[in-house]
Structure 1
Amino acid sequence: MTGADVLEYYAGLAPSIEGLQVPLRANSFVYTRREPLGVVAGIGAWNYPIQIALWKSAPALAAGNAMVFKPSEFTPLSTLKLAEIYTEAGLPDGVFNVLNGPGASVGTWLTEHAGIEKISFTGGTVTGKKVMASASSSTLKEVTMELGGKSPLIVFADADLDRAADVAMMANFYSSGQVCTNATRVFVHQSVKASFESKVLERVRRIRMGDPQVMDTNFGPLVSAAHMANVLRYIKLGKSQGAKLLIGGEREMSGVLGQGSFVQATVFYGLQ
């Protein structure tokens, strides 16, 4: 789903957000009414910068709120372009605001600010706990979280193994593996383990690593040198814990790729 799809959906939903009245007796009734929260804050991640900004801002604006959005410091420009688009479309000044800066300072300031009624955060679980604690200790803000995880993919004995291998590739290596919902734990029935493993490795060997702006590339770099170091640390941990490395497991150093944050597509077997 593209960011434009999200915007179109919530634009269509906006007119249907309304209150209702339910009669109880001749002289009494209960009712709800549409009442925006006010100013809400969105804190985004770097892996889907424009989509996350729209996932948060479109419903907030459709419900009548103003938003302050803080993108990741690693991807600060996409949301500025979104703000330009909103302005060109006629959104009044001050309704959608972009506040760039580090999460430790700017993000904390937003979560603690008394004028913010709700926080919508996308990021790591550890940071999410801090955001929730900070938001609740200040003004008991409403909080919505989209955090990281280790999703499972289960392949049964009667599965279509070609299809399962394709799904495993998408679930692990899409966006160079930098997706919080990736199915990075694959459980395979022992009776089809060898065949499934062969099909996955065949597909991994066909990966074309390189510059994402080149059309033939289907596996790009990691977002930063710091993130690359963290990924390599986890690979080293897997090796030290006795998992069998089937393919990859190293930083890619060939040619110009050695100048960037490229890590080979990696598959382990037998992780605990």
Structure 2
Amino acid sequence: MQTQPIASHFINGEYVEDTNGTPIEVIYPATGEVIATVYAATPEIVEKAITAARDAQAAWAAMTGTERGRILRRAADIMRERNHDLSILETYDTGKPYQETSVADATSGADALEYFGGLAASLTGEHIQLGEDWVYTRREPLGVCVGIGAWNYPTQIACWKGAPALACGNSIIFKPSETTPLCALKVAEILLEAGLPAGLYNVVQGMGEVGASLVTDPRVDKVSLTGSVPTGRKVYAAAAEGIKHVTMELGGKSPM
């Protein structure tokens, strides 16, 4: 399998490279072999990703939930069709055996896309009677979401964070773990192929400083992190300054 990606980042519907970023060697844990090299996002790359996500989000939010859900379900179908190749890539990326990746990783990612794709059309508000008066609520997209992933289930987490954000009319910038950067790029490819407009699912690589630049950017409306407790403390503190919505799964503490 060709493990070296076309380029390090996927922004606005295409691969983007900037070799001025810090090189990150991708190591196959089973052998210690370097199987690819990607480059951490420079400030220019981060700016491109945020700009693309903001520019694409409004038109996506204006679509109906049914239309958005149809695209996510199509992506789920493509992911299942390519489960073998995606599972091999996940094995190279993480070192997990194929007998696990073939049944647990891309398959559960597809399940997330399918589930939230089916949910998208039903995300409506409520009418509430207060005496003789009525009030109503409606659900509106937040805007630009940032997802920060962990190393252990890179395909699955890329879908877990992307699917609900997209179903609700948001755009997303996903930063995989620097130790497993390959799988999320394939998720981005599949979503684009399924009909997702360019700019709505972007992937940028990098270490903590890249995540920090995304979390603290005032144009980002929501942050979702899967990672360690120390990283969670830093992300929560950084996001609090901008009063952002934050969701965190830290160190196995989350039952959901």
TM-score interval (norm. to shorter): 0.5 to 0.7
Structure 2 residue aligned with 1:63, among 168, 184, 187? 168
Offset, 1:23: 3.0
1:1-272 alignment, distance < 5 Å: 2-26=108-132, 28-102=133-207, 104-137=208-241, 139-149=242-252
Shift, 1:22, TM fit: 1.9
- Supply the distance in 1 between the matched residues of 2:160 and 2:185 (Cα, whole angstroms): 15
RMSD of aligned Cα (Å): 1.6
Q: Say which SS state the counterpart of residue 3 (structure 1) adopts.
A: helix
Q: CA deviation at 1:142?
A: 0.9
- The size of the alignment, in residue pairs, is 149
TM-score (norm 1): 0.53
| 1:133 shift after superposition | 0.2
Percent identical residues: 57
- Partner of 2:169: helix, strand, or coil? coil
Counterpart CA distance in 1 for 2:128 and 2:230 is 43
* Partner Cα distance (1:115, 1:77) in 2: 26
Give me the whole-angstrom Cα distance separating, in 2, the residues matched to 1:94 and 1:120: 19
In the alignment, residue 120 of structure 2 is paired with which amino acid? A
2:230 & 2:176 partners in 1: Cα distance? Answer: 18
Question: Secondary structure in 1 aligned to 2:111?
Answer: helix
Q: In structure 2, the residue corresponding to 1:91 is in which secondary structure?
A: coil
Matched AA of 2:218:
A
**CA distance, structure 1, for counterparts of residue 111 and residue 195 of structure 2:** 19
Partner of 2:239, secondary structure, is: helix
Secondary structure of the residue aligned to 2:186 is helix
Point out where structure 2 has 5 or more consecutive residues left out of the alignment: 1-103
The code of the aligned residue for 1:134 comes to A
Matches of 1:22 and 1:130, distance apart in 2:
39
Runs of 4+ in 1 over 3 A off after TM superposition: none
In the superposition, the TM-score normalised over structure 2's length comes to 0.56
Gaps of 5+ in 1: 152-179, 182-272
Residue matched to 1:170: none
Give 1:75 shift: 1.0
Please give the secondary structure, in 2, of the residue aligned with 1:22.
strand
Cα offset, 1:25, TM superposition = 4.1
For the residues of structure 1 that align with 2:129 and 2:230, how far apart are their CA atoms?
A: 47
CA distance in 2, matches of 1:94, 1:3: 20
SS, match of residue 173 in structure 2: strand
SS at match of 2:130: strand
Secondary structure of the residue aligned to 2:162 is helix
Give the whole-Å Cα distance in 2 for the aligned partners of 1:60 and 1:4.
15
The structural deviation recorded for 1:17 is 0.4
